[in-house]
Amino acid sequence: MIGAVYRYRADPPMLQSVASNLIVTGVSRSGTSYLCNLLHRFENCVAINEPQEAISVLQQEEVPWGMAAFYGRVRRDIEAGRPIENKIRRGRVVEDTARHEKRRWYRPAVASPDFVLAVKNTREFLLRLEALRSVMPEARIVACVRDPLDTIASWKRSFRHLHDADVGPFVRHPQCMWLPQAQREALASIAATPHPAERRALWWRFLAERVLEHRDVVVLVRYEELVAEPLPVLRRILDGFDAGDLRAPIGPSGARSSRRLLDDDDLSAISEICSPAAAQLGLAVPAERR
C-alpha cells in the first residue's frame, strides 16, 4: 500500500502548531521545478511554480511581509475551493519551465486543512533568503543545487538571461534588491565581466555562495540524488508534515545532461571559478583544464 509506506504525518499532531509551508529555491536549472512536480503528487501538498506575485513582493518590499500574506491568502483560497494560478500542464506542475512557461488557473484538491504549501522561485528567493526568514521563521527552506558543469550547460540551452548570465535586473534595481554592499559589488563585477563563459561561472558561484550562507538552516537537495533516489529526498523535505498519500507513483529517473554544449572556455572558467563552492556543497568538482 502506497499510503502505508509513504505518509508524512506529525506525531503527535498537536505539535504541528504552525502552517506546513515550504520555500523552494536554489540555483537555476538545478531541479527546483522537478521537485515541485514530485511534491504535487501528494494528495495533501500543493506546489506552486514561480508565482508572479511572489517575485513582485520581493522586488518591491524591503521587509517582504507580502510573502507571508501571499502564503496565507493562497492557503485560504485552496481551502475554499477557489482557483489559483500555477505553471501546470495536464494536472501536474511542469518539470521544465524552459519548455512550458504558461501559467494556468485551476482548483487543486487537498486532503486536510493542514496541507503542505510549497512555493518555488530560484533567483529572487535565493538572494533574499534572510528577509524571507525574518517574516516566515516557521517555514522550511529547501535549496536545490547541481554540478556546475551540468547547470551551466543547461543555462546555455534554456533562457536567454541564463545563457548570458544577465544580472542586470538585480544591478539596476533601485535598492539593488536590498542586498548587502558586498553582494551588490559582486553583482556589479559580474555584470562588467565581458566574457560570457567567465560571467556564467561567476554567476553560478555567486548563487552557490548564497546557498552556503544558509546551509545550516536549509534542506539541501542535490539534483543527482533527487533523480536517482527521490523518495528518501522527499522524506527529508516533508519530515513532520502531513503530505498525505501519493496520487501518482514516484520512482528514479535519468539525469539530463547537455555538457556537449560546453566549450573549452566554459570548462576552464568552471574549473577555476566554481570548484571551491562545488566542493563545499558536496558536488562533483570540475577537473582542472590543462
249: preceding bond cis by omega (within 30 degrees): no
**Domain span at residue 152?**
2-280
pLDDT at 1 over 80: no
Integer CA distances (angstroms), 264 to 25, 31, 165, 192, 288, in order: 30, 25, 18, 21, 11
Q: What is the pLDDT of residue 3?
A: 32
Mean pLDDT throughout 137-162? Answer: 96
Mean pLDDT score across all residues of the chain: 90
pLDDT at 199 over 70: yes
Model pTM score = 0.91
Report the candidate in 167, 166, 146 with the shortest Cα–Cα distance to residue 258.
146
Q: What is the pLDDT of residue 97?
A: 63
Q: Give the number of residues written for the chain.
A: 290
- Grid coordinates representing 34? 522537478
Q: What is the pLDDT of residue 289?
A: 54
Count H helices and E strands in the chain, helices first.
14, 9
Of all residues in the chain, the percent with pLDDT exceeding 90 is: 80
Mean pLDDT throughout 91-116? Answer: 83
CATH code, 58: 3.40.50
Q: Is residue 148 part of a domain?
A: yes
pLDDT at 181 over 70: yes
Pairing of strands 88-89, 92-93: antiparallel
Confidence grade of residue 205 (pLDDT, cut at 50, 70, 90): very high
Q: Is residue 60 part of a domain?
A: yes
Q: Is residue 286 part of a domain?
A: no
Q: What is the pLDDT of residue 99?
A: 65
CA neighbours closer than 13 Å in the CB half-sphere of residue 78: 25
pLDDT at 11 over 70: no
Report the candidate in 105, 120, 102, 121 with the shortest Cα–Cα distance to residue 39.
120
Which stretches of the chain are DSSP H helices? Answer: 2-5, 32-39, 52-60, 65-80, 123-127, 129-135, 148-156, 160-163, 168-171, 181-191, 196-213, 223-228, 230-238, 264-280
Q: Is residue 290 part of a domain?
A: no
Of all residues in the chain, the percent with pLDDT exceeding 70 is: 91
Total number of domains constituting the chain? 1
CA neighbours closer than 13 Å in the CB half-sphere of residue 23: 29
Report the candidate in 222, 203, 21, 206 with the shortest Cα–Cα distance to residue 120.
21
| Residue range 228-244, pLDDT digits in tens | 999 999 999 999 999 99
Mean pLDDT throughout 54-80? Answer: 95
Helix 52-60 to helix 65-80 angle (10° resolution) is: 160
Q: Is residue 240 part of a domain?
A: yes
Q: Are 236 and 144 a contacting pair, CB within 8 Å? A: no
Q: What is the pLDDT of residue 256?
A: 78
Q: Is residue 285 part of a domain?
A: no
Q: Is residue 122 part of a domain?
A: yes
Q: Are 172 and 249 a contacting pair, CB within 8 Å? A: no
Q: Is residue 229 part of a domain?
A: yes
